Amino acid sequence: MGADRTLIEKSAMGIVGLLKRGEVSPLDLIDTLEQRIAEVDPAINALPTLCLDRARDHARRLMERKPEERGMLAGLPVPIKDLVPVAGVRTTFGSPIFADNVPAESESIVRRLEANGGIVYAKSNTPEFGAGGHTFNEVFGTTVNPWNRERSAGGSSGGAAAALATGCAWIAHGSDMAGSLRTPASFCGVVGLRPSPGRVPSGPDSNPYGMLAVEGPMARNVTDAALGLDAMTGRDHSVPIASADSGGMFLEAARSPRKPVRIAFSADLGLTPVDPAVEAAFHDAIGRLEGAGLPMVEACPDFTGAHQAFQVLRAVAFAIATGPLLEAHRDLLKPEIVWNVEKGLALDGRAIIEAERERVRLFQAVCEFLETNDVIVCPGAIVPPFPRGERYVGECNGRKFETYIDWLAITYGFTLVSLPVICIPCGTTVDGLPAGLQIAGRPGGEAELISIARTIEDALGDWRPRDPPEFVVA
């Protein structure tokens, strides 16, 4: 068959169905992606590193098996974020320090995806070491928003989000600490799913006990994201907090949408200013959910103290992961990383103890809140996609921020208390830029969250304009 442009608009589930019926081959998909990337990526810069020969070799090995024996992804190509090593493929972490790095071994999440029938064909762009909500670095440059190429695609999984939105991927790997799956999903009009810590293990890791950073799937709809999550789960003995294999329960949950008893919603979580354009899109979405008969109540847990606790614990995580590079390569690290590492190294024990105590208090308050509310919904980002030339959002609605991550509070509030969260498209601003809706569920409750998210997705209906921009297919 070879390249077939009609395939790029299909869902991941639709493509997997074609693969399992033998109507397309993994090689056909790689040919299709190669053609689409050549058309789109010079303008978007989502997938700066391709490994198509490696992908075709893997596809041929996979095609020696019967379609039903090729795993749940059955030969579906998947891009890997450039923070995760893939054997034999240039992996830079978005940093000049590792500009020529070619690892000999893949991390366990890559091996797991490949064991489940995924084929790695590209690395997606990311900011240096995933730091910040805007995808730019000194190695590959800036990934731009397919809806407006003068705007940011978000970060740090901006390359993955832009690839999905332009038909250069069907599902994608991403990661999230302060919203890195959710902010780009909101900016690009796709889905980003942040699982509970340990649900998607990967190693080896410099901080295997860390609870802030997780890996997870991105896709164009909730069901495809659930498929991606199933393919990423599994035991990993190098990760002490790893959960068990999902057994396919997340896809099953997506196929069984459930109407919640009570949905709490808040435009700001009591944490942050919100741009009026985002707030208008959010309240329009809430109105549509109410019109569909979903039980909505305006309420949220008390997140007082989340800013300080998250800043401290994030700084500790950066000092652990990136601290060793500071002395040897300080001049090659971007200033935001230098600041984050130095903040972590300067902390005393009392500050860390207080941050941990505050996290426990917030977690308990959120758990109590979720006893009577099935989920909490809020905007996926506090601003629409911002100009590509800005490093981060410095102010919103008249309030200036002190650090480069303050504008991400609406996402890192959920990170701090370890909730699984999915961000789905919910509409556009008056300027035609995507707006996302975060849906946060109970700790460890990904299946319930996905089931409710499917209900919300159906209630919102088709959010896309009739004539999307040139490269957008999502």
Across the chain, what does the average pLDDT equal? 97
pLDDT at 465 over 90: no
Q: What is the mean pLDDT of residues 31-47?
A: 98
State if pTM tops 0.85: yes
Q: Is residue 466 part of a domain?
A: no
At which residue do the structure tokens 């979580």 appear? 269
The per-residue pLDDT for 335 is 97
Among 15, 464, 447, smallest CA distance to 255 is for 447
Predicted pLDDT at 238:
85
What angle is formed at CA 474 by the lines to CA 191 and CA 425, rounded to 5 degrees? 40
Q: What pLDDT is stored for residue 285 in this prediction? A: 98
Segment 334-347 shows an average pLDDT of: 98
Does the residue 329 lie in any domain?
A: yes
Residue-level pLDDT at 15: 98
* pLDDT score for 452: 98
Which residues are CB-neighbours of 93 under 8 A, at least 6 positions away? Answer: 82, 83, 101, 126, 128, 129, 130
CATH of the domain at 308: 3.90.1300.10
Give the rounded percent of residues in the chain with a pLDDT score beyond 70.
Answer: 100
What letter represents residue 360's amino acid? V
* Residue 249 within any structural domain of the chain: yes
Let me know how many helices (H) and strands (E) the chain has, helices first.
14, 17
Which pLDDT score is estimated for 163? 98
Yes or no: say if 442 and 448 are a contact pair by the CB < 8 Å rule. yes
pLDDT greater than 90 at residue 237: no
Q: Which two tokens stand for residue 378?
A: 């809020």
SS3 251: helix
Is 469 a member of any domain?
Answer: no
Measured distance CA(250)–CA(254) in Å, rounded? 6
The whole domain housing 107 covers 5-460
Residue 474 in any domain: the answer is no
Q: Give the integer Cα–Cα distance in Å for 27 and 12.
A: 16
Residue 474 has pLDDT above 70, yes or no: no
With respect to residue 468, please indicate whether it lies within any of the assigned structural domains. no
Residues taking part in catalysis: 81, 156, 180
Distance, in Å, from the CA atom of 153 to the CA atom of 86, rounded to the nearest integer, reads: 24
Quick one: which of 48, 318, 328, 294 has its CA closest to 163?
A: 48
What integer is the mean pLDDT of 351-357? 98
User: What's the pLDDT at 245?
Assistant: 83
Mean pLDDT confidence for 399-415: 98
Nearest to 174 by CA among 198, 153, 194: 194
Domains: count for the chain: 1
Residue 10 lies in a domain: yes
| Residue among 165, 180, 62, 167 nearest 120 (CA) | 62
Count Cα atoms within 13 angstroms, Cβ side, for 460: 25
Strand, helix or coil for residue 364: helix
Specify the pLDDT at position 466: 84
* Cα three-residue angle 384-169-424, rounded to 5 degrees: 40
pLDDT-derived band at 200, boundaries 50, 70, 90: very high
User: Is 472 part of a structural domain of the chain?
Assistant: no
pLDDT mean over 425-443 = 97
